[in-house]
Amino acid sequence: MQVTVENVSELGRKMTITVEDANIEQAVEKRLVSIRPTVRMAGFRPGKVPMKMLVKTHGPSARRDVIDQIVQDSMREAFTQENVNPVSPPNIDSMKEEDSALIYTLNYEVFPELGTVKLDDIKLEQTVAEVTDEDVDKMLETLREQRMTWEPLKRAAKEEDGVTIDFVGSIDGEEFQGGKGQDVLVVIGNGSMLPEFEQQLVGVKQNQELTISMTFPEDYRAEHLRGKKADFAVTVKQVAKKKLPKLDKEFAEMCGVEGGLAALKKEVRSNMERELEAALKSVNKRKAMDSVAANNDITLPDAPVQREANYLMEQAKNNLRSQGVNVEGLPFELSNFKENAEKRVKLSLLIGKIISDNNIQPEEKRVREAIEAIAASYEDPEDVMNYYMTNQDKLSEIQMMVVEDTVVEWIYDNVKVEEKASSFSEVMNAVA
């Protein structure tokens, strides 16, 4: 077998393979003889179909099968011989038979050969933060808000009160689509309804009937209502104020924590510290990866970029589907995902180079610690630990995560770093 390789671009290659003594005709004949006992044809007993008829009916497919097998075997051997690892399946460009030889050419791309990953002139800002007592108090207030009830009032409604209403909207005396509601709770000032509507509920009382007149904004989401003046016939069914539960032992039990308020605070702080640790890791990892990607120029092969762009587009569609959005007919363009795809492929190559150059392996201790951190948030951590340790796919995910964390640490160890103090809420908002 003869193999020649030609560079057609920086990453594009053209390979010509000559399989001498391919003996296609003999191989086709041999294949037909092998299938003859199983071929059924009207007028002939099994195994007795004349070879002439067999050649006519099954010859073309037998020839295709033989050539396919020769190509697959010779291509595999050629790639091994030339130490080629194409980024995607090659395209056969041409093929011809000369006497007993088969000659064909194929095109493919290779990954770029990377030198040492450049970290020169990179200055990283490493975000640091801690959970404060004030953060814990704010979280407890959030938990109270989540468990609040509404206490009915006899007085007139004011800001932050909840007003339950029925309403029917009309424009020029005609009801319009989407302008009707029953038992709708409007919290004055929280923006669930348009401000002009909410403000006219200030001062209303239970069982009061009124008309709210307002004009829809010019940029209102419903195009047919933009700039239109509407009247709403409103019936006030209840005026109520928020009633927050007390921060006591009963509230702690309501949150599923035994041991009173002190135990609840401890549990809340522990959860927040775990969330903060994960968020800081994500924020600082993104900074490190973005800096390394920006500091290293790489010519990328087209095929993996296209695959990644397709993956990102399908992921975006699936995210919308999970929210109940019909994505059919939406203007999805693959080009909109190409920039992000290029960045991800580039980072994949750079991370791979850092891993190989520094022989980074997933340390067993760190893998176990990572699984323990995941398991800690579950009711039965031991079951979760066993699940990850005995499921090879899940274990591999954690091992890769540990390797990537080690890569990020390696980057921070080899560049100039300046710490930037941040708050719990700022860090959490950065990853939201």
Domain boundary assignment for the chain: 2-109, 123-133+263-430, 149-243
Residue 28, SS3? helix
Tell me which architecture the domain covering 2-109 has in CATH. 2-Layer Sandwich (3.30)
How far apart CA 382 and CA 17 sit, in angstroms, is 57
Residue 135, SS3? helix
Residues β-bridged to residue 180: 168
**Is there a contact between 267 and 257 (Cβ–Cβ < 8 Å)?**
yes
Output phi, psi for 421, to 5 deg.
Answer: -75, 135
At CA 128, angle to CA 125 and CA 131, rounded to 5? Answer: 160
Per-residue CA distances from 344 to 72, 294, 300, 337, 406 (Å): 31, 12, 11, 11, 18
Q: Is the pLDDT of residue 223 over 90?
A: no
**How many residues are given for the chain?**
432
Element of type H or E holding 367: helix 364-375
**Is there a contact between 124 and 288 (Cβ–Cβ < 8 Å)?**
yes
Say what the pLDDT of residue 232 is.
97
The verdict on domain 123-133+263-430 having CATH code 1.25.40.390 is: no
Name the residue with tokens 């002009």.
Answer: 196
Question: Residues 336-351: what's their mean pLDDT?
Answer: 95
How far apart CA 250 and CA 261 sit, in angstroms, is 9
Q: Is the pLDDT of residue 116 over 80?
A: yes
The verdict on domain 149-243 having CATH code 3.40.462.10 is: no
pLDDT interval class at 326 (50, 70, 90): confident
How far apart CA 249 and CA 264 sit, in angstroms, is 9
For the full predicted model, state whether its pTM sits above 0.75.
no
Say what the pLDDT of residue 305 is.
95
How far apart CA 411 and CA 404 sit, in angstroms, is 11
**pLDDT tens, position by position, 46-103:** 777 788 888 888 889 998 999 999 999 999 999 999 999 899 899 999 999 988 899 9
How far apart CA 94 and CA 222 sit, in angstroms, is 57
Report strand pairing: 123-128 vs 416-421: parallel
**Is there a contact between 107 and 303 (Cβ–Cβ < 8 Å)?**
no
Name the residue with tokens 């057609």.
Answer: 8
Output phi, psi for 106, to 5 deg.
Answer: -140, 150
Say what the pLDDT of residue 243 is.
94
Handedness of CA 306, 312, 318, 324 (dihedral sign): negative
pLDDT interval class at 211 (50, 70, 90): very high
Say what the pLDDT of residue 136 is.
97
**pLDDT tens, position by position, 367-413:** 999 999 889 878 899 999 999 999 999 999 999 999 999 999 999 99
What is the percentage of the chain residues whose pLDDT exceeds 70? Answer: 100
Say what the pLDDT of residue 411 is.
96
H helix count then E strand count, the chain: 12, 11
Query: What angle, 0 to 180 degrees and rounded to 10, lies between the N-to-C axes of helices 51-82 and 24-35?
Result: 120
The pLDDT mean for the chain works out to 93
